[in-house]
Structure 1
């Protein structure tokens, strides 16, 4: 890589200091595929085509979170070169059909070898050095130090070529390993001739049933082949083969490989159609040409005086070069996925695992939608309109084949990964931008279908207007993201004239109001209709997805005006944003590797934060947006292996950079609006598919001149801090004049962006502001509702409640209950003139007509007032189960540990003493534990119950041991019971934590959790 960087710097020097050299530069020379291969970027450096099916890349890591792409820059050994890889994901898969040149027949990959091991133990892996490694779009080269073999790789869309140059007179052996990485379900190696083999590899990993077929052609016949099988059982196919070639026939060996998800014949057709008799050099040049054309979608040039704090000590030429390298590598990364997923004849494997035909569209897989709906897909609506139609038709085909729009589809599998139904905004955004090369009626039906399911918390969401903590994990994040998705359905419904659907989904789009706590100004989990407590906005817990409350409390892109109102107005909202960026960087609760790239609690390394820097525009402070965007662009992206602040996530991290470097960002996809930040480059040309060009110029730009003094669009003054999609897609010129001080540009109320829901306004559901759901003697209950939203007669809002199915009565002041009870509540208010429903033209609703919130039920439990519990060890707040009385409150935990009913102890034993208040005859004592080994939760190894009459002289009952070390994929609850049959007052329970996670467990090296609930005394 260093040699390539030196070359890039020399290129910049010889090109001189021209500010507009886009016509002469080779843009592929500005792509550094090693960016993101270090740290937590999870990218790969190998050869691939734009959105191609094959990713031919080295494998340096077999497992682990930072090995998701198969490669990590910190590694020293290469295990081989496989033909499929994922870019920037947080879960690993692929690594199919590994080939490795070597000079001995050895089927051991050497994963467990030490430096002093014998050759047979060392395996076929080889040490390598980055000094002897080169990569650029469509090409990869490395020298294998242990065998002195040079490897070169290049690709077409579904096929590729390995070129190995062996040292003179050495043995020439190529290992084919079908066991590499994923669990093999089925495999086959067929020798069709001395120069051709084919077969299949079906595997289980993230995709539970991935089916891949291959065809391989050698440029020279092999002379000997040896096979390896993991078992000698009759009929078991070999999973590895070693092919030896005659060294006297030459030092170079080329291997052409094609893959298919359909069958071996499909792989062969792919190879014949794409490569055939082409030489390595021809295929390499075609790949470079394809990438050059692809990168030409956006031409950028920059000045030499951008000296950001992150680039101090570099020359102007180096800074300029680094900016272009980071930009074009980011653009390159946005074009690695989704991946083509059909053969040259149009056949592909569908979500039903059957074979289908794509006659009028190209089929794709690998849609990381929770990430890419935010910026990557909006970028495609500008520079990839035709491909966007293919993406949507692919999603609709998956709906036809699998019964639902996918959330994260991979190789004809639903992975069940991440939250929301974000195929929906991808479709709506395209439709509302006029990209309509798909069946819109089918698309809308598929979108609605996703939204009306009863799984993943949607049943509660539809019934209550939010997801309770006790019903579903990640309840706050799911509520917020469903609400945004529903808004996009509403917008598409409105555009299609579907008024009833528009009303339903614009109401659902406001459900975010039900998880907003007006006291703390944060989005919080609603636990049994109270707020999840104790509350710490820094705490990463099961209420949020890969985040904490700081990082989700600004996620209402569909109704930013409504969120501003909830927070108390623009000044309060701005103040809260300031606090976000200046808060302490530490998080509490569970460790979350995705929370990286922190500026305060803004976490650029994970997607929920990506829009937040642009929110200052909505409160008349665009200069603050310009400051933050400039900082992120220059500090959190670097021309280095660890140059991306989090998982690249199939293009989303890079799409943020691409958009922001241009000077704007899609805060609300499906609004057709881009929020202006600050440009990075002096000249940009977006070359549109219809031949039009949208130019962006930044006059007097430098690191200090990061503020916009004024702007023009097509020669006319632009005084607003946003632009419309149509203004880009119609072509034209946007010119910024930059300055070194915050200006008054676009700061008036008429000049700022808004996203606002003004029709079909809902009434938020009331919550229990004070009162214990589980109490001893009595508890005082106060009811409240979130701050009123625009469009309701908020001063006339009323709360009603009912106890034990009595008639509802108006709530006016706190009340007390002293027995177990069921409380029902709802809020009501007259409709305002603006809160209209169908038809849209009818705006004469009467103020006397009322609407109401959902009706919520809460069960209150009375704990025996004589009963108390003392905990000698400390539970984790994020798993508090309801507090210090959780183990005696009469409420039992469910199978899902993330629903707030279990009390969790990390690497600690449970030590609890129950005081019955007086001596009582006790027959049995029982305590329940949860096992979910996939989540690091193990049963205790032993449980001890000690009893006493006086609290000091305890007698141990027989210890009960559990085979906690036994591996299990199941989530189970085990209740341990002790026979007592004595008069006692005190009961001490000790449960021994499993401790160190066992070898073979994904978390090996870490510590186990102990989850307990409900100590019952009978």
Structure 2
């Protein structure tokens, strides 16, 4: 009788789920246990291990004090020295900046006035090792033997909290170093003011990758100061405030209240009052309570996708990837809603939260499409942040950093992010204004667009990285055209549709590659599809012809036709993966990494390529190759990323691919199917859930025999965004036999 009741109950649940296009969500679990923030801190991942909230403004994390490409976040797993803990960090970028407001505790005496020309001169540095280091979402700790103190860090949205546990009773010291900088960054003006016996305020104005970064801060200690010293340019300043270019401070505490000292550090790009207001976001000195809130915030975020598998390693890779996608774009408007704009003025974010760190050349491909699924409320904020940039500068952002346009990388890829939001019905921004912004960016007369308008393509003798720019502008122009059509702007639709086809002018049928074409219409010679030149004399951005010739996501059928049809196209794709991995040239881009043949997964232009087999009628090859990439290019060690994380894109590729689908065209709301990794995955979207089941899935069973959506067999290798957001059940039947794959 019990078995009959159980069967009846199960059938009822299945019937209800099929009627409502939802399925019961998976039971909530402790998902933060599967996140390892050290993944990506080794190799060329360039991530940081410190504390943050999802999209938080503040990221307290250790700095090694080493400059160089692999220290773009301020930290690399190979290092053994910590010089302090700064409050802002970039996740996975190829250029180093931020690492602002360095703080270091210690028990011993130090001389801040001593000249410090290199890391060996830094008197407050300490050795450390990874055995006494720990990191989980929202928390980081390490023991510093030279300084005789254990450091613990956690974070609120705009305010960090530090806890220092000294080995012995006695004097406790804290160094504040505003001169500390990494890579290009250089402080221009620094200010420190002691407001009272427990509150410090100040400013760090610097130039670097962000050419005008202004960061106001407020620090509050849990114990009153006993004495302090202020220093600038290696000289003591006998005052309660200091203004200079290299300001530092040494704060001393009696230690009479015990061997534990805590402090809060709050930030604002606008003014001191914004930083002081942010201090009130953490209204307790209970470090564990703040840490628990941070952990809970991450648990809520990670629970938006619940995967089920007996393979703990796969879950560590997946949830760390999901974690990395949620670190940027960072909150930028302060506790009072103010921020420094790209025009240098102070602005108010009215009705939305301003964000910064838009690595758009990377994140438009998969990270932003992921946000439309699991972070829909933030997407409107992201779009409004870009529109604010447009108001302040006249153009949409290219690579925005702390209220600055860096103009790093190619394309105007705010366009597909905004267009994707429009077509997916994301609310909270002015669509007509958004259209004017994307059109204005498409009609600019800089960055090679002027040549595109004049010649119908970008000549290689007139513009550096001409091929990549042309291909990416063609996709962006397709996005503008679709929006023009939606809004009834027929002339714009025709104009941008024609520009979207400009990619065809760069295709050479003899070599089967996209090539640099000169202003007289001839091909640039000599030509070697494996040749790479980094930035100077290049036709391709951080890559070569093998890697960039496939970027026509808006017209893959047209690209297939150019290459001679499905079989010829697939054969050429096979050649990409089967080539040797030799890259030629005297100035090869270091960003070309994670190679399978000439495919370079360590850099973003390759990310969609494995899914192109679907369009040529050979989906089993997509399934084979995406599985190979997931297995060989990601692991759960510090070197677990095959290239720069790039603010979430490297991880977003994995999140999508592990679930079994990917947005080849990141602005048309269609996801190409691949080969899922997990027995079951539940995407929780508020009122509905979308469940992906992979029956008989395993490392060997990577081929897809059949797929059904809500009980109906899918004949196409794709699903739509709307189908996903409606909720339901997507079932893959897996096999190890390629011949059985559909």
Task: Report the TM range for the smaller structure's normalisation.
Answer: over 0.9
Counterpart CA distance in 2 for 1:610 and 1:365 is: 24
Rate the CA distance shift 1:232–1:154 in 2: closer, same or farther, 3 A. closer
Alpha-carbon shift at residue 384 of structure 1 (Å): 1.1
Where relative contact order (Cα < 8 A, 6+ residues apart) is larger, the structure is: 2
1:105 Cα deviation after fit: 2.1
Matched with 1:127 is: 127
CA distance in 2, matches of 1:639, 1:21: 27
Decide whether the 8 Å contact of 2:170 with 2:254 is kept in 1. Answer: no
From 625, 628, 631, the counterpart of 1:631: 628
Residue 463 in 1 paired to residue 484 in 2? Answer: no
* Matched ranges for 1:598-637 at <5 A: 598-637=595-634
Following the alignment from structure 1 to structure 2, what is the Cα–Cα distance between the partners of residues 271 and 741? 60
Equivalent position SS for 1:268:
helix
CA 1:110 to 1:184, structure 2 compared with 1: closer, same or farther past 3 Å?
A: closer
Partner Cα separation in structure 1 for residue 361 and residue 118 of structure 2: 36
Show the counterpart of 1:811.
none
Q: Does 1:243 align with 2:251?
A: yes
Once the two structures are TM-superposed, the CA of residue 276 in structure 1 deviates from its matched residue by: 2.2
Could you tell me which of 415, 418, 438 is aligned with 1:427? 418
Shift of 1:357: 1.3
- Other structure's SS at 1:131 match: helix
CA distance in 1, matches of 2:579, 2:566: 20
Distance in 1, matches of 2:111 and 2:721, equals: 58
Cα distance, 1:594 vs. partner?
A: 0.6
| TM superposition shift of 1:463 | 1.3
Determine the structure 2 residue equivalent to 1:178: 178
Correspondence 1:71-86 to 2 at 5 A: 71-86=75-90
Q: Answer yes or no: is the 8 Å Cα contact 1:61–1:72 preserved in 2.
A: no
Alignment pair present for 1:480 and 2:471: yes
Equivalent in the alignment of 1:872: none
The TM-score, its normalising length taken from structure 2, stands at 0.93
Q: Which residue of 2 aligns with 1:70?
A: 74
After superposition, the C-alpha distances for 1:173-211 in whole angstroms (9 at most, x for unaligned) are: 110000111311111110011111101110111101101
Residue 530 in structure 1 maps to residue 534 in structure 2: no
Map Cα deviations across residues 516-564 of structure 1 (whole Å, 9 max, x no partner): 1111010111134221211110000311100000001111111111111
1:712 aligns with 708
DSSP-derived class of the 1:47 partner: coil
Any conservation in 2 of the 1:299–1:686 contact (CA below 8 Å)?
A: yes
> Paired residue for 2:291?
284
Aligned runs of 1:108-127 on 2, under 5 Å? 112=118, 121=121, 123-127=123-127
Give the conservation status (yes or no) of the 8 Å contact 2:229–2:236: no
**Does structure 1 residue 223 correspond to structure 2 residue 231?**
no
1:436 aligns with 2:427: yes
**Residue aligning to 2:216:** 213
Shift in Å at residue 170 of structure 1?
Answer: 5.0
What is the rounded CA distance, in whole Å, between the counterparts of 2:117 and 2:34 in structure 1?
A: 35
What is the aligned counterpart of 1:293 among 290, 295, 300? 300
Moved more, 276-285 or 146-155: 276-285
In 2, the alpha carbon distance for the partners of 1:722 and 1:236 equals 60
Deviations 1:641-667 (A, max 9, x none): 000000000000000000000000000
In structure 2, the CA distance between the partners of 1:21 and 1:39, relative to structure 1 (3 Å rule), is: farther
Aligned partner of 1:201 in structure 2 is 204
Gaps of at least 5 residues in structure 1 are 1-19, 115-120, 304-319, 747-1018
Deviations 1:659-712, CA, capped at 9 Å, x for gaps? 0000000000121110000000001000013x1000000000111100001111
1:231 to partner: Cα distance: 6.2
Aligned to 2:41: 37
Query: How is 1:744-823 mapped onto 2 (pairs within 5 angstroms)?
Result: 745-746=741-742
* CA-CA distance at 1:232 after TM superposition: 5.9
Query: Do structure 1's residue 261 and structure 2's residue 269 form an aligned pair?
Result: yes
Task: Give the greater-gyration-radius structure (CA).
Answer: 1
**Which residue number in structure 2 is paired with residue 104 of structure 1?**
109
Instruction: Give the superposed CA RMSD.
Output: 1.6
Deviation at residue 78 of structure 1 after TM alignment: 0.3
CA distance in 1, matches of 2:478, 2:73: 34
Aligned length: 703
The verdict on how the C-alpha distance between 1:45 and 1:110 changes in structure 2, with shifts beyond 3 A counting, is: farther
Tell me the equivalent position of 2:556.
560
Mapping for residues 876-915 of structure 1, pairs under 5 Å: none
How many angstroms apart in 2 are the aligned matches of 1:155 and 1:233?
32
Q: Does 1:27 align with 2:41?
A: no
Q: Which residue of 1 aligns with 2:738?
A: 742
Identify if the C-alpha distance between structure 1 residues 29 and 21 changes in structure 2 by more than 3 Å, giving closer, same or farther. Answer: farther
Q: Secondary structure at the match of 1:220?
A: coil
What SS does the corresponding residue of 1:168 show, helix, strand or coil? coil
1:95 aligns with 2:92: no
Instruction: Classify the secondary structure of the residue corresponding to 2:358.
Output: coil
Secondary structure in 2 matching 1:654: helix
1:236 and 1:652 map into 2 onto residues whose CA distance is 40
The partner residue of 1:675 within 659, 672, 676 is: 672
Q: CA deviation at 1:25?
A: 2.5
**In the alignment, what sits opposite 2:377?**
386
Q: Give secondary structure in 1 for the equivalent of 2:426.
A: coil
Contact 2:50 2:62 in 1 (8 A): yes
Match of 1:700 in 2: 696
Q: Is the 8 A contact 1:109 1:125 kept in 2?
A: no
**Aligned mates of 2:419, 2:63 — CA distance in 1:** 38
Partner residue of 1:760? Answer: none
Q: In structure 2, what is the Cα distance between the partners aligned to 1:268 and 1:112?
A: 33
Distance 1:745 1:151 in 2: 54
Q: Deviations over 1:412-440 (max 9, x none)?
A: 11111111000000011111111132111
Partner SS state of residue 551, structure 1: helix
> Any conservation in 2 of the 1:56–1:82 contact (CA below 8 Å)?
yes
Instruction: After TM superposition, list the pairs within 5 Å mapping 1:301-316 onto structure 2.
Output: 301-303=308-310
Of 704, 727, 732 in structure 2, the residue corresponding to residue 731 of structure 1 is 727
Conserved 8 A contact 1:60-1:77? yes
Find the aligned partners of 1:345 and 1:409 in 2 and give their Cα distance.
22
Match of 2:16 in 1: none
Per the alignment, residue 399 of structure 2 pairs with 408
Write the distance in 1 (CA, Å) between the matches of 2:630 and 2:530: 25
Structure number with higher helix proportion: 2
**How far apart in 1 are the matches of 2:300 and 2:28?**
13
C-alpha distance in 1 between matches for 2:64 and 2:76: 6
State whether residues 491 and 670 of structure 1, in contact with CA within 8 Å, keep that contact through their aligned partners in structure 2.
no
Partner of 2:15: none
Q: CA deviation at 1:249?
A: 2.8
Residue 302 of structure 1 deviates from its aligned partner by 1.1
Cα 1:620–1:111 change in 2 (3 A) is farther
Residue 218 of structure 1 contacts residue 253 of structure 1 at CA under 8 Å; is this kept in 2?
yes
Paired residue for 2:356? 365
Q: Residues 677 and 113 from structure 1, CA distance in 2 versus in 1: closer, same or farther, beyond 3 angstroms?
A: closer
**Helix, strand or coil: the match of 1:531?**
coil
- Distance in 1 separating the partners of 2:727 and 2:517: 48
